[in-house]
Amino acid sequence: MSSPLGTGWRDRIMHVLANVPDPEVPAVSIVDLGIVRDVRENPPAVIITPTYTGCPATDVIKGSIRQALDLADFRDVGVETTLTPPWTTDWISDTGREKLRAYGIAPPPHSSTLRAKQLPACPRCGSTNTQEISRFGSTPCKALWRCLSCAEPFDHFKCH
């Protein structure tokens, strides 16, 4: 049975969504951050999980997805939010991690076993001689850190 959305529709939708920037960190897409969890066929919908419950950017993300889908002639595809399972920094793609680093944000490590032991590397000089300044950074999902080697402040995605 063929899909009413045509062949290769999931790939086409993911390509569209890969160009939707995160409103708080426009250097990465919502796909790079792992916010897009699934593309469902029946009924057709993009399933997203915000980076944390109550994320103030969720409505903007949903609106940006809606606009991108409409422009790509996927007007019949809905946008739904799910909080289960909760988003985790492990869902950030390798490409997303590199984009964060290039943007000046230290990405979290992949493995939860390393989180307690590993200090974030400075995204500017690469040093791990770093110190947390504040648990609260430029957005609720980031903390403010300082590099003790080059003295530059930087955001670090909170691990969760």
Q: Say yes or no: 110 and 41 in one domain.
A: no
As a residue count, the chain comes to: 160
Residue 129 domain flag? yes
User: Are 36 and 96 contacting, i.e. CB atoms less than 8 angstroms apart?
Assistant: no
Q: What is the pLDDT of residues 103-159, one digit of tens each?
A: 999 998 876 555 556 789 999 999 999 999 999 888 888 899 999 999 999 999 887
Q: Say yes or no: 69 and 109 in one domain.
A: no
CATH classification at residue 23: 3.30.300.130
Q: Which of 46, 67, 87 is the last residue of a domain?
A: 87
Domain that holds residue 112: 94-157
Q: Say yes or no: 75 and 106 in one domain.
A: no
Rounded distance between C-alpha atoms, residue 53 and residue 90, angstroms: 17
Q: Say yes or no: 108 and 77 in one domain.
A: no
pLDDT at 7 over 50: yes
Domain count, the chain: 2
Q: Say yes or no: 64 and 81 in one domain.
A: yes
Q: Say yes or no: 125 and 75 in one domain.
A: no
Rounded distance between C-alpha atoms, residue 118 and residue 45, angstroms: 38
Q: Rg of the chain's alpha carbons, rounded to an integer?
A: 17
Token pair listed for 155: 């955001």
Q: Say yes or no: 80 and 14 in one domain.
A: yes
Residues in Cβ contact with 138 at an 8 Å cutoff, skipping those fewer than 6 apart: 24, 144, 155
Read off the pLDDT of each residue in 89-110 and give the average, rounded to a whole number: 92
DSSP state letters, 8-63: THHHHHHHHHTT-B-SSSTTSBTTTTT-EEEEETTTTEEEE--SSTT-TTHHHHHH
Q: Say yes or no: 44 and 81 in one domain.
A: yes
78, β-bridge pairs: 45
Read off the pLDDT of each residue in 95-106 and give the average, rounded to a whole number: 95
Smallest Cα–Cα separation from 35: which of 62, 67, 11?
62
pLDDT at 60 over 80: yes
Q: Which of 58, 87, 116 is the last residue of a domain?
A: 87
Q: Say yes or no: 82 and 13 in one domain.
A: yes
Q: Say yes or no: 20 and 57 in one domain.
A: yes
Residue 2 domain flag? no
